[in-house]
Structure 1
């Protein structure tokens, strides 16, 4: 998501409005609407842990349970929209390492560029949120996080790691959010060669976090799916399979679906 660029030439009320919008976009937690888009046929017992995470002024991507090529999946359909579908978790460091997941992407978002403000749409993202010691944040990040809370929003996670599909960036490219270094993406799919087929991924989450942030991860507190096409006013269609986090150090692990 893109944050507005502040400028000293704006009047103070306008600057505040832009900053507020920026915090909302940065946090990814402007508003959480529990079960807002759950498929009614799935039943409350199946979807109770999922929440729609919305962004101010943005249409919502639709997430619903489906079966794709025989695989149980969440179908994500974006039409000039952006929102996340989040599952809260609670795993301490040492209780997680490997993560396994899959996705099926129908098409790229024409003109999208993960590393260029205003063009950061992506058909597929898997988002991991981590807690941590906020005292280690930069002054700018602490101010942004405090402002989010003062406006009645959720406090952004200490760190957010995103696995993403890019139009053209090489696999392995790391992208830092243009407004906060607490959100970092790593490209794990690129281009159109593997569209319209199930793609299986296994990542060492702790290693990727260490590589991107230069420190060990704190507790894992959230996992989210995100398909968006709002910046370029386009459409996107993706299916996400279950997310598996095998247990470590005697922990039970997670299967998120």
Structure 2
């Protein structure tokens, strides 16, 4: 279950704005790293705030490494099912089969984790990834555990070097991936990893938040 199950822990609440039901997860554009923690798997991906194109974001640089940043949260998908984020990559990985353990690397990925509470064996995750070749919208089980499902949000090099705004209905994605209703979201994580391929990758992560439809 490498690079998937970051933890099994009680989550800390994230306060939502009552007016527009927005739950802020990451405010990197404000230079805010509060609540974000580190998890290393193989080597260390370097994360640091970076002012790029007039926009402050969290930059990730991986050189044959895999480590992530995560934040424990408590999000009710019945109220705010839509995950919004912005990201940008400096390039894609090539030649790796992402459905295999040897190819399970991505220049950018955003995790949504459902811990299962005391039933730790039910910990599940949805990984939104920038794929090198899988079609946009395609889904497949992670090579290390079927408790995690991968979804290609971007694919290939056509939009490399561009800031992209993403929007996903996490509740709907969970239903399709696991065939049941999700519980609350317990954590959100980001990771740029190249430990299996030994490659180099750079990505930038902007703000992340949940909202109503």
* CA distance in 1 between partners of 2:64 and 2:35 (Å): 26
C-alpha displacement of 1:247 = 5.5
One of 175, 183, 186 as aligned partner of 1:218:
183
Residue 252 of structure 1 corresponds to: none
Task: Measure, in 1, the Cα distance between the counterparts of 2:212 and 2:49.
Answer: 25
1:165 maps to: 130
CA contact (8 A) 2:77 2:170 kept: no
Structure 2: state its 5+ residue gaps: 9-27
1:166-219: CA deviation from partner (whole Å, max 9, x where unpaired): 111111111102342111110011111110011111111111111111111111
Bigger shift: residues 216-225 or 112-121 = 112-121
TM-score after normalising by structure 1: 0.69
Q: Spell out, residue by residue over 1:58-111, the C-alpha distance to the aligned partner (whole angstroms, 9 max, x if none).
A: 111011112221222110000110011111111234132111111111011232
Matches within 5 A, 1:231-250: 231-246=196-211
Asked if the contact 1:104–1:240 (Cα under 8 Å) also holds between the matched residues in 2, the reply is yes
Structure with larger RCO (C-alpha < 8 A, sep 6+)? 2
1:112 aligns with 2:96: yes
Q: Specify which of 100, 107, 111 is matched with residue 127 of structure 1.
A: 111
Between the aligned partners of 2:178 and 2:70, the Cα distance in structure 1 is: 22
Q: How does 1:1-257 map to 2 (within 5 A)?
A: 23=1, 25-29=3-7, 46-55=32-41, 58-132=42-116, 145=121, 158-246=123-211
Which stretches of structure 1, 4 residues or longer, exceed 6 Å deviation after superposition?
none
Q: CA deviation at 1:27?
A: 2.1
- The alignment of Structure 1 onto Structure 2 pairs a total of residues equal to 192
Q: Is the 8 A contact 2:4 2:125 kept in 1?
A: no
Which of 1 and 2 has greater Rg? Answer: 1
Which consecutive unaligned segments of at least 5 residues does structure 1 have?
A: 1-22, 31-41, 136-141, 146-156, 249-257
SS in 1 for 2:39: strand
Rounded to whole Å, the distance in 2 between the matches of 1:197 and 1:78 is 19
3-state SS of 2:73 partner: strand
